[in-house]
Structure 1
Amino acid sequence: MISNSSSHRVLMLWVFIYILVGFYILECQARGVGDLNSENVIEDDTVEYLKSYGEKMKSYMNLSVAPCDDFYEYACGNWKNVRPDRFQPNHKRNNLLDIVYTLINEGEKLLTSTQLAQALNVSTELQIAQQFYNTCLSAPAFPLPAADPAYVELIKSIGGFPAVEGAAWNASRFSWFNMSAHLTNFGVKGLINEDNLPQYPFTPFFELPELGFDHIVQTDNIANSTSRAYKLNEKRMKSYLQPYNLTEDKISEVIAGVFDFWRDALAVADRFEGDNEKCIEISENENLPKYHQWESYYEIAWNGKNFSNVGGTDGYCDYYYEQLEKVCSKHPEAVANYLAMLLLYRMDAKLKEEKYHKDYCYSVVQSGFSYVLNKLYMAHFKDRTRSEVASIVQELRNTQKKALEKVEWLDPETRQEAQLKESTIEPVIGSYKNEEVSTRLIQEIHSLDLENASFPQRLIQQRKLLTRLRRFNGFHSEPNDTKPLELLLGMQVNAFYYNLDNSIYVMAGILHPPVYHPDWPNSLKFGTLGYLVGHELTHGFDTVGSKYDSEGEKRNWWSKKSRGVFEERATCFVDHYDRYLIPEINQKINGKGTQDENIADSGGLQGALDAYRNHMKQLKNRSEVDNETLESEQMPGLDLSPEQIFYLGFAQLWCADYEQEHYWEELTNEHTIDKYRVLGAVSNNYDFSQVYNCPSGSPMHSQAHSCRIW
C-alpha cells in the first residue's frame, strides 16, 4: 500500500530524472563509441559545432571560483545569466530541463508532418492536434480569462464559487471532498492528491496535499503577510478574482479566508511533521476506521470502480482526513473558493508575457497529444544513434560487473546473486513498444468533442483526456500487464531503471545536448549520458533496488552480514547530505528522503568515469587509432583535460536558476536540490579531487573517508 512519499518511491520502482516531453530528430552521424575507427578526420562543420559548444560550456562557468572550493559555482555560476529567455512554467529552470525549448522548436515541425502521418495512419489524429494548436494560438492566454463562461459553468457544476456566486451558493449542499474528487478528473492535485502505481492493477494512491499556488505554503512561510510565499499566492488569487469585478474589500476578504483555512490545515499536518508515515502510525495506534468518504471518490473519479488492495488504514492517512474534515467544516466558503481557484490555476498558462504564448501552445499540444506525436517522432529515431547509445550502456554495465566482482564486503553467495541480477538487466534504447496499446491510446483523441468549441472548452476536455490516459491501465490492464504507459513514450527526456523487469530505459528524447550529441568527444558523452546511465543502473542496487532480484521479484537475497555493511555505507550518504543547509530558505537537505538518488548519483558518476577510462584504454590498444583521434577528447576553447571535461559535463547538467519557491517545492522531492546534487557527488568522489588537484582539506576534498557503496 502507498502511505507516504518514501513508500511511494518504494513502489514506483523506477527513478525519474525529469519527465519532459519534446522532439528532436537525430540527423547527425554518430562518432565515438563503436565508430572511432572509421573517423580520423573531423569535418569542418563538426569542428565549428564543437568550437561553438565549447564556448557555450565556458559561458556557463564562473572562472573566478576555484573548482576545489565550489565546483557547482565554478561549472554553473554564470548559467542563469546566459540562458535563453523562454517560457518558464512555475518550476525552476535548469540546463537539463531546458532541453524542452529546443524540442519545442522542432516539435512544431511535427504538427505539419502530414505525409508521415498519412503513412503511419494517424492523419485524423494529427489534424485534431493541429486544430487544437491553432485555436490555442488565437485564444487569449495572458492573463487567463478566469471569468470565461466555460470555467464558470464547470466550477458551479462541481461545487461552486461562493466568492462569485454570493448568496446563491449554498453551504449546506457543498462537499469539500466531492469537489476535490471532481478536481482529480482534471488533473488537479488539491485536497485529494492522487497518483497511480506503475504496476498491476495500477491503483490510485494518495499523498498528503501540498497547499498553495505559485508557492507551497507551510506554517512558517506564511506566518506574516510580507513573506514571498504570502505575496505570490495573494497575487495569484487576486488575478483570478478581479475578472469577476469583485470589490477590493471582497477580494481581500476572500484571500484572507483562504489563508486562514491553510493555517488550520497546516496545523493538522504539523502534528506529524507532514510525514505521512507518522500520520498513518497515529491512525493505526488510535485504531481509526477507514475514512468514510473514499467510496464517494471512487464513484466520482473511477466511475464506481474500486480497488481491493487500496483502502484501510495502511492505504492513506485516515487521521489527516478526519481532522481535515473538521477544518473544512469550519471554513466551507474558503475551501470552495480555494478549490475553484485551483481549477483555474490548472487551466492557466501562467504566462509572464504574451511573447511566450507560442511556446505554451505547443507544450499544451505535446502533453495532450503525446502518443500520436510520439509515433511520428520515433519514425525518425536512427538505428545508428541507438547503436552508439547501446554501446555506452554496455560500457557502463561492464564497469558495474567489475565493481561487483571486486567489492570486498560482499560474501560469495550475495555476490553471486548480485552478479546474476546484473547479467540479466535488459536495456531498452528509444522506448518500449506495444503497438496495440499505443494505438488504443492514440484513438482516445476521438473522445474529444471540439466542434465549434472555444479554447477554454477545448482545454477542459484536454485536461480530462490527460487524466483518462493516466488512469488507462487502471481501467484496462490485465494481471499479466506490468508495463506503465510512460515506457511507450520515447519523446520524453528521461532515463530510468525499472525493478519489476530488471531493465534500464534510455528514452529517445533525452539524446540531446546537454545530455548527448553524436559529435561530442567521449569525455563529454561519458560525463553526461554515461553518468545518467550509470545513475539508473545503480538504482538496481540502491536501498530499494537491492530488495528485488534478477527476476524482478521482491526477495531478500542478501546475507545478514553483507546487508549490514550495505546499510552502514548507505547511512553515510544520509549523514553527508543532512549537513547541507539551503540558506535561501534556512532549511537542510533531507538526507534520508534523498538517500537513493544520492547513492545513484555517486555510483553513476564513478561508474561513468571508470567506463570512460576503460574505453580509452581499449582505444589506445588499437593500432588503427592515431594520436589525432585521442587528442579529440578535448573541447575547443576549454583549457581542460578530457577527464576535467568529463566532470564539467556532469555538473553542467544541473546548472539551475531557483527562486525561493522552487526550493520549497523541491525540499520534499526524492532528488537533492541541483547544487547540492553536484557538490555531494564530487565531494564523495576521490578521483575528482585527483583530476582537479584538490588539496586535502579543501571544500571538495574535505573528508578522509568519503561515502561509497560500490
Structure 2
Amino acid sequence: MSIPKIFTNNLSSILLWWILFLVSVMQFPVEIRARSLTDVTDGTDEEQSSADYLKSYAEHMKSYMNLSVEPCDNFYEYACGNYPLAKADHFSLNRRNNIMDQTFTLNDITVQLLGRTQLAETLNVSRELDVAQRFYNACLGAELVRFSAADPAYLNLIRSSGGFPAVDGASWNAYEFSWVNMSAHLTNYGAQGLIHEELVAAYPFEPFFRPPKLGFDYIVDTINLAGNDSRAFRLNDERMRGYLKAYNVSQERITEVIDGVFAFWRDALDVTEEYNDLCESFESTEDDEAEFPQLGNYYAIAWNGVNITKHNECETFFLALDKVCTRHPEAVANYLAMKLLYEFDAKLTEAKYQQDYCVGLIRESMPFLIDKLYMAEHFSEETRLEVLAMVMELRKSLRKSLEEAEWLDDESRVEALLKESTIKSSVGSLKNEALIDRLVREISSLKIVEDSFATTKINLARYRINTDRFSSLHFEEMTNDTLPQTTYLGMQVQASYYIIDHSINVMAGILQPPIYHRAWPDSLKFGTLGFIVGHELTHGFDSTSSMFDSKGNVNPWWTKNTQRGFDIRTHCFIKQYSNYTIPEIGVNVNGIKTKDENIADNGGLRQAFVAYQSHMKQQLEDPEQKKTIEQMPGIDLNPDQLFFLGFAQLFCSEFKEEHYYKHMTNVHAIDKYRVLGSISNSDDFVQAYNCPLGSGMRPENKTCRLW
C-alpha cells in the first residue's frame, strides 16, 4: 500500500492503512451450487464426482474467455473478455468482479446455515439463530424495491440527529445545527457523513478519521461535477429527487434543495482535494497544528467519551471544512439527512434481488454467529493442512527471493531472512473464544419490531455499529495483545499479512472455488490461492514493513543502500503503471498511490510460479506421492498456461463510469491493469505462452522486478 513518507513515524496512520485485509476472492459460479469442501464421497464415487465437477468448472472458466484474442496480445482480454456477458445475475452498486462476487457465494451458504437449527443447538447458539431467522423473514416480507423514505421511523431519526430543513421548513433552526454532531449521529448507524470514521486495527482500536467521500451512487470530484450534464450529476440528482418526492416536497423546492447540495459539494471539494486520504495537506499551512474543539462533541455522541484518539491529523482539515459548512448550513443538513436515508435504502432495482440483500445484511451484521455455523460445517482439517503446506511452499519461494535479491545488502538480507523465519502462518481463523462468545451473545439485544421493518432496520444498524466497535468500546477489559475482531472471523473471503504480529492469515471463506478446490490441479491452485498468499507475503517485505522487525516492533532494518536499491526499482513500477490510461474516464492509473500493491502483485505472481514448480519437482521425486492431472478437461492449455489463466481470471471485472472514479481512491490499480502489469513483467508467462518481444504482453525487453 502507498503511504506517504511523512507518515512513517506515525504508528496509527501506518496501522490504519496496513492492517486492512488486502485480497479477496471471486464468485463461485451460480450453476455449481456452493457446497462443503468435505462433501466429496470416497473411492470410485469420489473420482467420478471430481471428474464431473472439473469438467463443469472448466466450462465456466471458458465462458469468461475471449478466444478471438491472442494471449500474447492482451492477456486480460483473452482471459476475461466475455466476463460481462457470462457473469451470474446479481445486483450490485459496486463494480462486478470475480473477487467481490464471492460474497454472493457466502450469501448462498448463509441461507443454508440459517436452517441449521440442530447445529445451532449443538453449538449453543439457538437463541441467537432464532433472532437471525426472525430478521431474515421480516426482511423478505418487507417492501424494499420501493424504499419508504418517508417512514416516520426514518424521519424521527433524522430529526433527532440534526433535522431535515427540506421537509421541516421554518421549524428547522440553522443556529442550533452542528454538522459535526449530525455526522456523529450518522456514524452510529453506519452512514458516513462529513466525518469518515475508521478504526485503527491494533489495540486499543481507536477511531481514526479520513476526509469524506461526497455523493451517493456516484462519488463526486471537481472533474466529474464540471457540468449538469455529467453522469455524476444525473445519478446524484436522481437519488436526491427520489427521496424528496417521498416527502411530497414541491418540484420547485426540490430543485432549490438539490442546487444547494451541489453548491455545497463544489465548495467542499475545494477543501477535500487539498488533502490526501490521511488528512495530510498537500501544502503546509499555518494551521497544521491547530485544534478543532468540536471533535469533543463527536466523541461524546459517537463514543460516549470512550477511546478518544490520541493521533488525529484531520483537525486542520476539519477547520477548513467547517468554514464551508458555515456558509451552507441548510444544504449540509439536507445532504446528511439524505445520506442517512441512503444508508437504509436497499437500492434494489428488482424484487428478485431481495433475498441476496436480506441474507447479506445478516451475514455482515451477525458475522460471528454465522461464522460459528460455517466453520463447523464447511471447514475441514484436511483442507487446513493442504493449504498450510501451500503457504509453506510459498514461504520457501519468498526466502529464495530474499536470498537472490541483489539490491539487499548483506546486513539487510540477514534481517530479512530472520524476519521470514519468524512469520506465523494461520489457515482458517485465529481463536479468541471469550471475545467471540461475547460478540455472538450481543445478538440477543437486537429488537425486532414486527409491525415496523424500518424500526427493525434502524435497530439492526445501531447493533451492527456497536458490534463493530465492541473491542474499541471495551478495550480496557482486554489485554494489549488482543487482535482486531476480523482476525477471529473465518467466514470471509480474505487473506492478509498482519504487520503487528508478523503473520500470514488465510481465512476459511477464501477456500472455495474459484480460489481453491481440493479436486483442482495444483497448477490452478497455485495460480489463484498461491498468488494471493504470495501477494500477502510480499507485503511483509515492502517499504512499510521495513520499519517493523521480526517481532512486530517499530525498528527500521533497511540500510541506506538497501533503501536506495528499493527506490530505484520502485520507480520502474511507478512509471510503468502510470502509463496505463483508463479510456472510459480519460485518467491514468496513479502509479505512486498503487505502487506497493503493484509490487505485491508482481512479487506474488512470481513467487507462486516458483512455488508451483518446486512443488511439482517434489512430486516427481517422490514415488509414493499421488500424481495429479495438471490440466482442466476441455481447456487446451498446458499446466503452466493454466496457472496464468487462473491468476488473470481472479480479476475479471465489469466497471461503469462511476465505479472508475470510486476506485481511483483505492490503493490497488484497476483490475485490468493489475493483470496486464504483472503479466508483462513475467518472464515465466512469456515462456509459457511463447510471446515474442514486441508483442502486447512483452512490448520491450526491459521489465520491472523487485522480488
TM-score for the superposition, normalised by structure 2: 0.94
Q: 1 CA distance for matches of 2:634 and 2:665? A: 39
Matched, 1:237 2:240: yes
How far did residue 704 of structure 1 move? 2.3
- Match for 1:14 among 11, 14, 19? 19
Aligned AA for 1:592? I
Deviation (angstroms), 1:99: 1.6
Gap change, CA 1:426 and 1:602, over 3 Å in 2: same
Secondary structure, aligned partner of 1:188: coil
Q: Aligned AA for 2:130?
A: Q
Distance in 2 of aligned mates of 1:308 and 1:3: 20
Distance 2:104 2:120 in 1: 23
What's 2:185 paired with? 182
8 Å Cα contact 1:371-1:441 kept in structure 2: yes
SS in 1 for 2:584: coil
Counterpart check, 1:151 vs 2:147: no
Match of 1:604 in 2: 604
Q: Tell me, in whole angstroms, the C-alpha distance in 2 between the residues paired with 1:589 and 1:308.
A: 33
C-alpha offsets along residues 178-224 of structure 1, whole Å, 9 cap, x if unaligned? 10111111111110000000112211111111000000001121111
Which of these residues, 91, 96, 99, is aligned with residue 96 of structure 1? 99
Q: Out of 246, 249, 255, which is 1:246 matched to? A: 249
Q: How does 1:514-553 map to 2 (within 5 A)?
A: 514-553=514-553
Deviation at 1:55, TM superposition (A): 1.1
Q: 2: CA distance between counterparts of 1:19 and 1:517?
A: 16
Contact 1:496/1:536, CA 8 A, preserved across alignment: yes
Aligned to 2:461: 463
Q: Which moved more, 1:198-207 or 1:640-649?
A: 198-207
Match of 2:31 in 1: none
Look up the match of 1:406: 404
Aligned residue for 1:506, secondary structure, equals strand
Match of 1:35 in 2: none
Structure 1 residues 19 and 451, CA gap change in structure 2 (3 angstroms): farther
Q: Give secondary structure in 1 for the equivalent of 2:520.
A: coil
Are residues 338 and 3 of structure 1, via their aligned partners in 2, closer, same or farther at CA, if it must alter by over 3 Å? farther
Q: Distance in 2 between matches of 1:473 and 1:244?
A: 39
Alpha-carbon spacing, 1:275–1:106, altered in 2? closer, same or farther (3 Å): closer
Instruction: Find the partner of 1:64 among 48, 60, 68.
Output: 68
How far is the alpha carbon of 1:411 from its aligned partner? 2.4
Q: Is the 8 A contact 1:29 1:518 kept in 2?
A: no
**Which one-letter code corresponds to 1:293 in the other structure?**
Q
TM-aligned CA distance change 1:187 to 1:3, over 3 Å: farther
For 2:5 and 2:143, locate their aligned partners in 1 and report how far apart those are by CA, in whole Å.
Answer: 37
Query: SS of the counterpart of 1:43?
Result: helix
Amino acid at match of 1:342: K
Letter in 1 for 2:491: M
Using the alignment, how far apart are the partners of 1:360 and 1:5 within structure 2?
41
Corresponding residue number in structure 2 for 1:166: 169
Using a 3 Å threshold, how does the CA distance of structure 1 residues 588 and 120 change in structure 2: closer, same or farther? Answer: same
Q: Does 1:374 align with 2:378?
A: no
Partners of 1:123 and 1:6 lie apart in 2 by 51
Where 2:281 maps in the other structure, the secondary structure is helix
| Partner AA of 1:668 in structure 2 | T
Which residue of 405, 414, 417 corresponds with 1:416? 414
Show the counterpart of 1:695.
692
Does the 8 Å CA contact 2:148/2:246 hold for their aligned counterparts?
A: yes
Quickly say closer, same or farther: Cα 1:123–1:29, change in 2 above 3 A: closer
Q: Distance in 1 between matches of 2:261 and 2:25?
A: 32
| Partner residue in 2 for 1:52 | 56
Note if 1:142 corresponds to 2:149. Answer: no
What is the number of equivalent residue pairs in this alignment? Answer: 693
Query: In the alignment, what sits opposite 1:191?
Result: 194
Query: Which residue of the partner structure matches residue 454 of structure 1?
Result: 452
Q: Which amino acid aligns with 1:584?
A: E
State the shift of 1:347 in Å.
Answer: 0.5
1:613 and 2:613 equivalent?
yes
Q: CA RMSD in A?
A: 2.3
Alignment of 1:106-505 (within 5 A): 106-270=109-273, 272=274, 276=278, 278-279=280-281, 282-283=284-285, 285-307=286-308, 309-310=310-311, 315-380=312-377, 381-452=379-450, 454-477=452-475, 478=478, 480-505=480-505
The DSSP-based 3-state class of the residue aligned with 2:642 is: helix
**Is the 8 Å Cα contact of residues 3 and 317 (structure 1) preserved in structure 2?**
no
Moved more, 58-67 or 557-566: 557-566
Which residue identity is paired with 1:14? I
Structure 2 counterpart of 1:34: none
Equivalent AA in structure 2 for residue 521 of structure 1: P
Shift of 1:287: 4.9
The SS at the match of 1:220 is coil
Distance 1:453 1:412, change over 3 A: farther
Contact 1:22 1:491 in 2 (8 A): no
State how far apart, in whole Å, the 2-side matches of 1:681 and 1:19 are: 18
Q: CA deviation at 1:432?
A: 0.7
Change (3 A) 1:95 1:21: closer
Q: 1:148 to 1:286 in 2, by over 3 A?
A: closer
Deviation at 1:45, TM superposition (A): 2.0
Give the C-alpha shift of residue 677 in structure 1.
0.6
- Distance in 2 of aligned mates of 1:19 and 1:409: 31
Q: What is the CA–CA distance in structure 1 between the aligned matches of 2:548 and 2:427, rounded to whole Å?
A: 22
Q: Under a length normalisation based on structure 1, what TM-score does the superposition of the two structures give?
A: 0.94
Cα–Cα, structure 1 residues 523 and 18, in superposed 2: closer, same or farther, change >3 Å?
closer
Contact 2:676 2:697 in 1 (8 A): yes
| Secondary structure of the structure 2 residue equivalent to 1:241 | helix
Q: Does the 8 Å contact 1:280/1:319 carry over to 2?
A: no
Q: Give the superposition deviation at 1:19.
A: 6.1
Decide which moves more: 589-598 or 41-50: 41-50
Aligned amino acid, residue 36 of structure 2 = L
Deviation at 1:171, TM superposition (A): 1.3
Give, in whole Å, the separation in 1 of the partners of 2:211 and 2:655.
24
> What is the DSSP-based 3-state SS (H/G/I as helix, E as strand, rest coil) of the residue aligned with 2:68?
coil
> Runs of 5+ in structure 2 lacking a partner?
29-33
Check conservation: 2:193, 2:339, Cα contact below 8 A.
Answer: yes
- Structure 1, 539-548 or 616-625: larger mean CA deviation: 616-625
**1:275-327 superposed Cα distances (whole Å, 9 cap, x missing partner):** 655427534x44552112111111111102253623xxxx2333332222221
Provide the C-alpha distance between the structure 1 equivalents of 2:251 and 2:524, rounded to a whole number of angstroms: 56
Moved more, 502-511 or 443-452: 443-452
User: Match of 1:303, as an amino acid?
Assistant: N
What percentage of aligned pairs have identical amino acids? 51
The one-letter amino acid of 1:131's match is: R
In terms of mean alpha carbon deviation, does 184-193 or 321-330 score higher?
A: 321-330
Q: Which amino acid aligns with 1:87?
A: F
**C-alpha spacing 1:607/1:4, structure 2 compared with 1 (3 Å):** closer
Contact 1:291–1:318 (8 Å) recurs in 2: yes
- Take 2:486 and 2:206, find their aligned partners in 1: how far apart are those partners? 15
Question: 1:230-251: per-residue Cα shift (whole Å, max 9, x none)?
Answer: 1111111112111111222221
Q: CA deviation at 1:400?
A: 1.1
Matched residue SS, 1:525: helix
In 2, distance between residues paired with 1:520 and 1:507?
A: 19
Q: For residues 436 and 360 of structure 1, what CA distance do their matches in structure 2 show?
A: 30
Deviation of the 1:176 alpha carbon: 1.3
- Which region of structure 1 is more displaced relative to structure 2, 553-562 or 18-27? 18-27
Deviation at residue 120 of structure 1 after TM alignment? 0.8
State the match for 1:78 in structure 2. 82
Q: Deviations for 1:440-483, whole angstroms, at most 9, x for unmatched residues? A: 11112122222546211111111112211222222222452340
| Residues 595-604 or 617-626, more deviating | 617-626
Deviation at 1:499, TM superposition (A): 0.8
Shift of 1:29: 6.8
Q: In 2, distance between residues paired with 1:42 and 1:298?
A: 57
